Chain A
Amino acid sequence: MNVNLALPMLTLFPAFGVIALLVLRGDDHVFIRRMALAVSAIEFALSLFLLPQVPVGSTGYRLEINVPWITSPPIHLHMGVDGLSLFLVLLTTFLTPISVLASWNSIQHRVKDFFVALLMLEVGVVGVFVSLDLFLFFLFWEIMLIPMALLIGIWGHERRIYAAVKFVLYTMAGSALMLVGILWLYNATGSFDLVEIQRQLQAGIVELSPRTEMLLFLAFFVAFAIKVPLFPLHTWLPDAHVEAPTAGSVILAGVLLKMGTYGMMRFCLPLFPHASYKAAPYVATLAIIGIIYGALVALVQPNLKKLVAYSSVSHLGFVVLGIFSFTVVGMQGAIYQMIAHGISTGALFLLVGMLYDRRHTFEISQYGGLATPMPRLAAFFLFAALSSLGLPMLNGFVGEYLVLLGTYIVHWQWAAWAATGVILSACYLLWAYQRVFFGEVTVEKNKTLPDASERERFILATMSIVILWMGIGSSYITHRTEKAAEAAHEHMQQWDVGAAPAPANGNVVTLERSSNR
């Protein structure tokens, strides 16, 4: 039994902020904003202390806490970080203060509630990433639904209620099945502990029949796929994004979607390797369809925010593809793409939000020529767009490249199809950029729009620095995520007992199912 309170404290810290917000003055909006900013900034600072805790080359989980919570069934407060979750936690804690800042002026209505919801959301998301007990994981997974739904539903735009309800129902549909899956797994292993279940499955203490394994895999996978979202389960996303307030979109795109891919990597692969193998071609096909489809639909969107939303469908397709390439390179790429997408799409949503703050519309046709009145915003937008379309030396490239490379190594056709996404992303982003920022100013109102304010510049500059740093110093991250990716990869290998001993990372993984299992 490990008792290291670091992670529970980190998870719950924003909740303390929530309590403080609830108890303290409720009418002073400036105070509330400052308070929320302080809480989220401190949370970010705290989370930075995780970095040295996961040194390069460290295996397994760090900062583990494992204390019993509920005796029957045995549910433990089991948390830990490894390279995979570390950066997702950091991403969350980084984007939250950014979101707070982004909502500084745009939220004028029910300010306290807004920041309460935002901070609660942070609790849920951080909790998801550090939980090592399936039950605990599920708990946080569900907890985060409500604040997010509120963010969309209260502070969203015209069809906010529809979007919020759709978001919740979609997610719940998946997670209800996941709960059945979790229980089934518990029934087989007598444990909710991820590490323990994994140990039992690997040691052969518990054997799942192929059919059972596949059903279990699906129970988990569908829940994750909805969250990702994987084509064709994606239709909640455009609605949710378009209707959500900026902060909501940033967190949604930045972090929430990653919960799905995180889940696939953390649960689907290690727990159900055979089923994952079997499902891989189908999953990859869906991912590739998602990449191309998302890009093509983004191409023709008249609504700027929807365009960015569909681009997420496309980008997340890469992540799924990388995971299901079952190569270290591909998985590393997937992890990297998760983080990179969080930053660059987050930045795009921030920018779209800033435009919205000025003009209260997302319609591209309402813009045009904005580079003249607001050159700074235009520059930042271009920067974010470039990072999103995967320009080398910016963050988007690294993930995309590694995913494609890792995939190519095993299935060149997959990679070839997916790589068309690289072309299409340039098409929709640059076209949209052109329509919004280039040309003469066509709408009279746009002529006098103010350029980025100091607050906005701070936000955008921060995002840009991260984008650039991630593009150049990617090895800082990949070194730390390497063991996690290798671990996930190894699980796939270990199960493949019939196959030849695993060649070094990145090499061809035989997909034949071993006969003796």
Chain B
Amino acid sequence: MFILDHLWIVPLLPLLGAAINGLFGVKFPNKVVNTVALSATGLSFLAAVEGVREFLDYFAQTGQPFQKAFFDWIVAGNFRAGFDLRMDQLTVVMVLVVTGVGFLIHIYSTGYMGHEGGYYRFFTYLNLFMFFMLILVLAANYVLLFVGWEGVGLASYLLIGFYFLRKSASDAGKKAFIVNRIGDFGFMLGMFLLFRTFKTLDFGQLFEAVKSSGMPHEAWGVFGTFTIACLLLFTGACGKSAQIPLYVWLPDAMEGPTPVSALIHAATMVTAGVYVVARSHLLFEHSETALVVVSVVGCATALFAATIGLVQTDIKKVLAYSTVSQLGYMFLACGVGAFGAGVFHLMTHAFFKALLFLAAGSVIHAMGGEQDMRHMGGLSGKIKVTYWTMLIGTIAIAGFPPLAGFFSKDAILFGAFTAGGGHDTGGRVLYGIGLLTAALTSFYMFRLIFLTFHGKQRYDEHHVHVHESPWSMLTPLVILAVLSVVGGWAAAPALWGGEDHFTAFLAPVFPVREAAEGLAEAAKLTLERTLAVVAIVAAAAGLGVAFWLYLKQPGKPAQIAKSLRGIYNTLYNKYYVDELYGATVIRPLLWLSENVLWKIVDVEAIDGTVNGVAHGAAALGQTVRQTQSGNARSYAVWVVVGALTVIVILFWPMLRPALGMVTP
């Protein structure tokens, strides 16, 4: 129980690494930086593994999630936010994914970033990110979770803007932070509402309070406490997990170094939104509306991002939109109540998307920094390990069995289809869109593979010396590839001869819900089988189209783009959403602030009034001064005026009736 009792060790190790590298790293040789950073993360991973082991023991004995308060962080009135850490099955999944994938990416980075300036800085940020991410997943209350939540945002900001000399990079970092802040705005209000209602933000106490409060489930259209709170929390999740309408930062975030994209913008941080929704599932389950909104937003984002991904030419941008799309998938799962499936997809996605990004990084590395797929092609023979691992990742994400993506996606689609007992038209629609998205995913991912690795070589060999990456980079690829292959089997359902360990494992957190109650076991199996087949067909269709368009008829895509110029341009320009935001929110706000608030309200109106009063006083002073004409005759008149004044004042009670004024 040592680690569990000192659970803070897990997040603290990366923080230590960050601190050492951050304060002294500038003087360290790269090797020392490596040692510090890797050992911090590695030890953290080991500690996490040990912690998980201890937790499982603990759980076996008590049947309770583990939670421990370490110190009071914020205390005011009856509000308390402690530095309390919590370990339950959901945490276990997250902690292992974060530390595990994180560690791999650290290894990868030593190779990838080896020749970059600011090496220590990079690892400082990366370790810092690990710290905050671990806080996020280990937190036992919303406030501490929020610490990690904002902290990873900060790390993301720093890492996106790592190449701060590039304006686009610093722009992207800033955008990421600010858009996240918009989400956080909702998240904070959500917390406040929860606190106001339940007087606590501690997960354990809060969920107990919810259960014991006996507050009714809120049906569709009822905007009760749960609905509002959940929607507010979901706003935060939208920001962090890049859902419509706050997804805009994620594609830009590709300005960061590729390992960052892999770690933060694919595997871990962006899934925090999903994690929060899953964590708050008890609340969401109290509100029909919130769930519907989550699923619709998720589904819409999935499709929307996938369509954009179809035409992107930057290899990382494709992956970025893919990530957005897959995150939509996860929300779709949560929205239809299949939280387990969502978390499962979160995990598998972490494997294969990290793999894809790292592989893409390897490609970019090989191409000497080139990211545009139009200038690649035919790389498969030259960088074999990268090619094969990336292909595995692609197959996984495309949803071909028996790789990880298939199982998780299948679970989600099944969940959607059977939502509302399987008779819900809404669920069917969601399913349909999900399926379409799956096909699109398969298409753009294979498009990526074909454009990059197959076909004609479209780069100049004299300028680009394609070379395979060092093993420090390839090892993580291989490991992740393996995980992408086998990861899915953890939750392989009965249909595939598995026992769905994953769902069972998460059962203490998400009580197993008979998704398709009312259906007989056999009918359920049949349905599952049918849906699986349909999914495979969809994926295959995507693959086929991609194969046909990019390998068989390489001229065709341009032709199609030409004939559908409007659509193509819209997609290529990401539906002009950035421009829309710019035109409707950002520029008007800046204009308003500068030209109205500052220059008119502040300078003219308020300060103008203040100075106007001063000038008025000065003008009055000049008037008074003018009476001082220097002419004694005028002065005599003034004395007479004064005399009249005084006499009139003293005789006022008698003058008033004389002047016809009567006292009322």
Contacts and interface: CB of A to CB of B under 8 A. Distances in A.
Nearest to B72: A475
Interface string A476-497: 0011001001100000000000
A22 interface: no
Contact of B597 (A296, A415, A419): A296
A293 interface: yes
Contact of A430 (B164, B174, B594): B174
Given A391-B154, A408-B189, A434-B171, A505 B77 contact: yes
Contacts of B147: 392-393
Interface in A384-436: 386, 391-393, 397-398, 401-402, 404-406, 408-409, 412, 415-416, 419-420, 422-423, 426-427, 430-431, 434
Interface in A6-62: none
B637 to A, nearest CB: 34
B154 A401 contact: no
B178 interface: yes
A234 B79 CA distance: 33
B166 to A, nearest CB: 8
Interface stretch (A121-129, A132-140, A326-334): A326-334
A482 B151 contact: no
A64 B610 CA distance: 41
A167 to B, nearest CB: 12
A210 interface: no
B435 interface: no
B294 to A, nearest CB: 21
A398 B150 CA distance: 13
Nearest to B586: A427
B582 to A, nearest CB: 14
Contacts of B178: 423, 426-427, 430
Nearest to A328: B77
Interface string B127-139: 0000000000000
Contacts of A206: none
B177 A392 contact: no
B74 A398 contact: yes
B164 A437 contact: yes
B185 A420 contact: yes
A466 B220 CA distance: 49
B177 A409 contact: no
A505 B78 contact: yes
Given A235-B607, A297-B602, A431 B174 contact: yes
A148 B192 CA distance: 40
A437 B164 CA distance: 9
A19 to B, nearest CB: 37
B185 A438 contact: no
A397 B251 CA distance: 29
Interface string B145-158: 01101110010010
B145 to A, nearest CB: 10
B73 A419 contact: no
Nearest to A372: B165
Contacts of A474: 73-75
A504 interface: yes
A439 interface: yes
A504 B72 contact: no
Contacts of A427: 178, 181
B518 to A, nearest CB: 40
A232 interface: yes
A327 B77 contact: yes
A438 B157 CA distance: 13
A391 to B, nearest CB: 6
Of A300, A439, A507, the most chain B CB neighbours within 10 A belong to A300
Contact of A423 (B77, B185, B597): B185
A504 B606 CA distance: 41
B151 A392 contact: yes
B56 interface: no
Contacts of A485: 76-77
B165 A438 contact: yes
A505 B396 CA distance: 54
B150 A329 contact: no
Interface string B34-77: 00000000000000000000000000000000000001111111
Contact of B76 (A328, A369, A408): A328
Interface of B: 26, 71-79, 143, 146-147, 149-151, 154, 157, 161, 164-167, 170-171, 173-174, 177-178, 181-182, 184-185, 188-189, 191-193, 195-196, 589-590, 592-594, 597-598, 601-602, 606-607, 610, 614
24 contacts: A166-B610, A170-B610, A297-B597, A329-B76, A329-B78, A329-B79, A371-B164, A375-B26, A386-B154, A392-B151, A402-B76, A420-B185, A422-B181, A423-B181, A427-B181, A430-B174, A430-B177, A434-B161, A438-B170, A475-B71, A505-B78, A506-B77, A506-B79, A507-B78
Given A422-B188, A438-B161, 14 more contacts: A236-B610, A299-B593, A328-B76, A332-B77, A386-B154, A391-B151, A404-B188, A408-B192, A412-B189, A430-B177, A439-B165, A474-B75, A475-B73, A504-B77
Interface of A: 166, 169-170, 232, 234-236, 293, 296-297, 299-301, 327-329, 332-333, 336, 369, 371-372, 375, 386, 391-393, 397-398, 401-402, 404-406, 408-409, 412, 415-416, 419-420, 422-423, 426-427, 430-431, 434, 437-440, 472, 474-475, 478-479, 482, 485-486, 504-507
The 5 closest A-B pairs by CB, nearest first: A328-B77, A505-B77, A332-B76, A408-B192, A300-B594
